[in-house]
Chain A
Amino acid sequence: MNSIEKSLSDRLRPVNLDGRMGQVALVHAVAEVFQAIGGGRMINGYTSPYVVSWSKRQEVVDSEWVIALAVAGVVAAILAIAVSVVLAVCAFCGTLGSISACLWTMTTWLWGWWC
């Protein structure tokens, strides 16, 4: 069995081709060319679904929210952690009233004291 016939017997069913390998090889060759020009896969009468042609394509512009970008996602998460920690600690210590008081609270929190 040559290489074409071997690949056919591997890929096409039914495997028992009753000596009609030449015909099947021709069909296979046509199918391969068909597929190469964008026509899809053709096996056993099956042809893969594909778009034959487009009548016209109007250009579009997508306005996409940026959260999908990894950088925006990471920044959002880091900001969420930082803001939450600062606000929660300052709220516990009652220093949310002024920036300087909250900053001092955060400094002492970093040193390991609560308020």
Chain B
Amino acid sequence: MNQRDLFLLDSARVFLAPGVAVTRTGLKDSRSGDACTLSALGRHIVPQLETGVTIKALIRSIRRTYDIEERTVRADLQQFFTVLSSAQLLSIRQSYLGELGARIRRRASSLLRRPARALQAGRRSPYRRYPATPAGILKGSLKAHQPTAAVGVMLAVAIQPLVFLPLIRRGELPSLRMAFYAVQPLMVYVGLLVASVILHEFIHYWVARQLAVRLKSVYVGPGVVGITQLDDGSGRNGIVSAAGPIGTVLVLIWLALLVPQLHLGYPFTGIAAPILCLAVAVIHLFGLTPLTSDGKQFWKLMGFAETRPGKVA
């Protein structure tokens, strides 16, 4: 199993990425000019991706033509789509919940040393791709953070015993109203986190427009959203990458100073607003470490990292 391979479910629907068109010999990306020549079966498959097709439907149609094992076709399609996806030519829509369930089943099968019924190899979640436009960024960011919202709901339940620890020690339980009151800071935190991520991506977009850096597409996975830029070999890509986290942190610090002066009610009262804004800013500061793609570009720009060109993911 190759860990860089995609984790694809049979229900995953595969499309061509924005700006990618089918040619006589294969595929061409109109934004970057990248083109590839495909084998006969590859050329047979790609026209179906213009309107989208599920892995299951593709396997079925191939097996109608060839006397071949389902497992073999699935593995070949997975390999094929992994290659095309790593070249940003595909947009793959796969249910986050379905993927989570399949991963849990696979892990459980491996722990119990049972052969997994599901045959997904690979580790990486496939990405959906949207056009690099404000609407694409907004749609992609909201889609990417569905899991964040789900984690927020789980935390809302988990923090209740902590908040009401003294009450519970006395053998009392909080009322529903008190419980709702207690989760309001968490709701604001999660909302602010998602809003800040959208802002982060919009800052990348705005700076790219200002510097005339060409953008390819917005990509989205579970908890992941990013913008693919075309590397022009100058330092402008580094500026676009670094602008996202730096700009967002500065805006959050400005909000931390501004909001208390507006004298808003709970959950923004007094010290609440600065604490919330700074807690979210801390997460964005991670974006400037070499652990992240933005951070790698930032440190390269500062002259502290290798200057080898290549895809930074």
Contact = CB atoms under 8 A, between A and B. Distances in A.
Task: Specify whether A and B are partners.
Answer: yes
Contact of A62 (B42, B151, B226): B226
Interface stretch (A1-9, A18-26, A42-50): A42-50
Interface string A55-69: 111111111111111
Main secondary structure, interface of A, reads: mixed
A75 interface: yes
Given A49-B80, A91-B266, A83 B66 contact: no
Contacts of A44: 66-68
Nearest to A97: B270
Contacts of A81: 155, 158-159, 162
B70 interface: no
Given A49-B76, A56-B34, A86-B275, A61 B231 contact: yes
B38 A62 contact: no
A17 to B, nearest CB: 14
Indicate the size class of the contact surface on chain A: 35 or more
A72 interface: yes
A48 B271 contact: no
Which residue, of A55, A61, A83, A112, has the highest number of chain B Cβ atoms within 10 A?
A61
Interface in B25-47: 26, 32-42, 44-45
A102 B274 CA distance: 14
A63 B272 contact: no
A89 B163 contact: yes
Given A50-B42, A56-B34, A63-B227, 13 more contacts: A13-B67, A47-B41, A49-B39, A50-B80, A51-B84, A52-B38, A62-B313, A65-B197, A65-B226, A67-B197, A77-B151, A112-B165, A112-B169
